[in-house]
Structure 1
Amino acid sequence: MAPGMLDPRFSDPAAAPSGWEEVETVLATAGTYWLTTVRADGRPHVTPLIAVWYDARLYFTTGGGEQKARNLAANPRVALTTGSNALKEGLDVVAEGAAVPVTEPALLELLSGAWVAKYGEEWRFEVRDGAFWHEGGGAAGVYEVAPAKLIAFRKGGTYAQTTWRLE
């Protein structure tokens, strides 16, 4: 991956851009992400969820009746945010892009295994009818976000904002 661009407006003069490997590590290992979608009336909707980083894409699930599913049906543009809630340490990452439904059985099977590997047996899904099925929980649609833009915010020491445009 090409190096990200350091934004001097929001970075310490001595800062260096964050590295792609570190950003990928944050995206791959985070336990919780915050998904921002847009309601039909234009208001934002933010909710915490779990997700999987695979092949430079983020994947998440939602039930068909949930607010985020209704929002995505009308407007697929999202932001997924993760990182540390500590003020003076860590790296926060924002991934912006379009959430696209995933229905291909082979990819869903692979992702089902990725959920178990990351979050444990509690998150084992059966792949059926182009969706994830959870024991006692019904169907959940799976969405893929191939980030068009990633922003990494380094905190503590030399603050830095690094941006990748991946479109």
Structure 2
Amino acid sequence: MIDDTDATRSEPVAELDARYSAEGAAATPWSAARARLAAAEVFWISTVRPDGRPHVTPLLAVWLDGALFFCTGERERKALNLAANPHTVLTTGDSALREGLDVVVEGEAVRVSDEALLHRLADAYEAKYGADWRFEVRGGVFHGGGGPAPVFRVAPVTAFGFGKGAYSQTRWRF
């Protein structure tokens, strides 16, 4: 079971940006954003290449202990980018214009090597995505069909929620 609470951190400060919100809109509660992050299947990660150009690609992630976790191949572009610059943005949402909630999480990608946490994460991946996403844990990384895959943790520093329908833009500061 994926834990979508975070007992170690207090609730973030939520601010509605009226410039980008419908009249009468309210700030989206962090609990709604947490639920969206826990349920989302596909995320987009933005990293920075060594020459400063952006790199954006889809990936899978799980929400656990107040952070997003993802894995990637050791030699994939995003892993190489994060080794040089750990600042990243993870985004999820859908393409609907008039309904839903898009969430953007800004933070620093920190490599995870704790075996107990990696086992919990491997279980969380399988619970969320099914048996095709079962990972073994060895040597501080995930192992699956694509070879060794380091795991990264991104705890939100700042997050944004874009409510659709009754349009709103909420910023959460941690």
- TM exceeding 0.5: yes
Structure 1 unaligned residues grouped into runs of 5+:
none
- Residue 4 of structure 1 aligns to a residue whose secondary structure is strand
Structure 2 unaligned residues grouped into runs of 5+:
1-10
Q: Which amino acid aligns with 1:162?
A: T
Residues 37, 2 of structure 1: alpha-carbon distance in 2 compared, 3 angstrom cutoff: closer
The reply on whether 1:41 has 2:55 as its aligned counterpart is no
**Number of aligned positions between the proteins:** 164
> Which residue number in structure 1 is paired with residue 69 of structure 2?
59
- Residue 116 of structure 1 aligns to a residue whose secondary structure is helix
Residues 80, 2 of structure 1: alpha-carbon distance in 2 compared, 3 angstrom cutoff: closer
> Which residue number in structure 1 is paired with residue 96 of structure 2?
86
> Which residue number in structure 1 is paired with residue 18 of structure 2?
8
Shift of 1:99: 0.2
* % same residue: 55
The Cα RMSD (Å) is 0.8
Aligned partners of 1:3 and 1:19 also within 8 Å? no
CA–CA distance in structure 2, aligned partners of residues 74 and 2 of structure 1: 29
2:171 paired residue among 153, 163, 167: 163
TM-score under structure 2 length normalisation: 0.92
The reply on whether 1:95 has 2:109 as its aligned counterpart is no
> Which residue number in structure 2 is paired with residue 19 of structure 1?
29
Q: Which amino acid aligns with 2:93?
A: G
Aligned partners of 2:12 and 2:173 also within 8 Å? no
1:152 paired residue among 150, 161, 171: 161
Query: Would you identify which runs of 4 or more consecutive aligned residues in structure 1 move more than 4 Å?
Result: none
Aligned partners of 2:101 and 2:164 also within 8 Å? yes
Q: Which amino acid aligns with 2:16?
A: L
